[in-house]
């Protein structure tokens, strides 16, 4: 078994990625909690590579969209959706009868770090438990993941220490490393820097920019400056609908709509 090359697109990508021009496609997508419609009639196509930032006020539906892209919302009893959602060319329901495959190919990191109550070392390898790795292979994977997340120098001398003893910023970078060793084709990030220190935030931004050259990243952020720094594409949502979407150059220029300009410059939505 080869050691994953974490700086490249996954070597085990299926051919369906190669023949698709979009990593994610939503057609007429609406999402509900019970009878409450959270997002309505969303049409969205995201490229195979690049960083797409979802921006907009709280309650706009950004995280709801994100949580359906790898079926995390499926675990919420009242959650449902209508319309079509395709990930890597396949319907997220019928195309992935084994949700584990979908979640391996579509990694996710949440706003609050979610580490397991075990060692830093074991956290990194959690998603590879079923694979038969030699000790040398496992050690190399852990080192690669932690280096990619700019965490190796800080924790290399305490890999057997508990993950929950790390600072929040370190825990978040650990979560990123854990997701990346699975070599996902798509990475979903739900405000990953919202509650962490500036050093960790900068490291994550640099990592996102680098990874965006190889895979598709979809990131929710309320930080407009951050979206301007790291995005290739921006989708502005308000009240459950897309107000405008486009390249970073368009969305942060005088050519954007008046509503977009108001939100971007004043952090205020008058939709």
Which among 77, 59, 43 is positioned nearest to 244, based on CA atoms? 43
Question: What are the residue boundaries of the structural domains of the chain, listed by start?
Answer: 15-266
The sign of the dihedral angle between the CA atoms of 168, 230, 7, 217 is positive
Which among 9, 87, 81, 14 is positioned nearest to 44, based on CA atoms? 87
Give the CA diameter of the chain: 58
pLDDT at 268: 67
256, 264 Cβ separation under 8 angstroms: yes
Q: CA of 179: how far to CAs of 95, 106, 109, 141, 189, in Å? A: 22, 9, 8, 12, 11
CA distance 140 to 135: 9
pLDDT in tens, the chain (271 residues): 344 454 433 334 444 444 468 999 999 999 999 999 999 999 999 999 999 999 999 999 999 999 999 999 999 999 999 999 999 999 999 999 999 999 999 999 999 999 999 999 999 999 998 888 899 999 999 999 999 999 999 999 999 999 999 999 999 999 999 999 999 999 999 999 998 999 989 999 999 999 999 999 999 999 999 999 999 999 999 999 999 999 999 999 999 999 999 999 886 676 6
Superfamily of domain 15-266: P-loop containing nucleotide triphosphate hydrolases (3.40.50.300)
**β-pair type (216-220, 50-55):** parallel
104, 184 Cβ separation under 8 angstroms: yes
The DSSP element (H or E) to which 226 belongs, if any, is helix 224-230
pTM of the predicted model, to two decimals? 0.90
Q: How many CB atoms lie within 10 A of CB 153?
A: 9
The DSSP element (H or E) to which 144 belongs, if any, is helix 135-148
Q: Count the residues in the chain.
A: 271
Identify the bridge partners of residue 237 per DSSP, sorted by sequence position.
Answer: 242
pLDDT at 189: 98
CA distance 92 to 70: 8
3-state SS, residue 85? strand
178, 187 Cβ separation under 8 angstroms: no
CA distance 65 to 42: 9
Q: How many CB atoms lie within 10 A of CB 12?
A: 11
**β-pair type (233-238, 50-55):** parallel
pLDDT at 10: 39
pLDDT at 271: 66
């Amino acid at each position: 078994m080869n050691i994953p090359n974490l700086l490249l697109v996954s070597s085990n990508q299926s051919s369906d990625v190669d023949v698709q021009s979009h990593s994610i496609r939503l057609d007429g997508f609406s999402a509900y909690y019970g009878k409450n419609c959270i997002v309505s009639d969303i049409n969205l196509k995201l490229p195979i590579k690049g960083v797409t930032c979802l921006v907009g006020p709280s309650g706009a539906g950004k995280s709801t969209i994100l949580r359906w892209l790898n079926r995390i919302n499926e675990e919420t009893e009242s959650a449902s959706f209508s319309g079509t959602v395709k990930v890597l060319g396949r319907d997220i329901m019928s195309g992935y009868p084994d949700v584990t495959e979908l979640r391996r190919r579509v990694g996710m990191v949440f706003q609050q770090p979610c580490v397991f109550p075990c060692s830093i070392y074991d956290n990194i390898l959690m998603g590879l438990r079923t694979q038969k790795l030699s000790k040398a292979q496992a050690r190399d994977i852990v080192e690669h993941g932690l280096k990619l997340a700019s965490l190796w120098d800080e924790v290399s001398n305490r890999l057997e220490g508990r993950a929950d003893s790390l600072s929040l910023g370190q825990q978040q970078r650990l979560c990123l490393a854990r997701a990346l060793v699975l070599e996902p084709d798509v990475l979903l990030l739900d405000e990953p820097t919202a509650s962490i220190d500036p050093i960790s935030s900068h490291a994550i931004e640099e990592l996102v920019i680098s990874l965006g050259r190889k895979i598709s990243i979809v990131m929710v952020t309320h930080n407009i400056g951050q979206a301007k720094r790291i995005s290739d594409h921006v989708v502005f949502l308000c009240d459950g609908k897309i107000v405008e979407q486009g390249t970073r150059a368009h969305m942060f220029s005088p050519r954007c709509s008046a509503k977009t300009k108001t939100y971007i410059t004043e952090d205020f939505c008058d939709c």
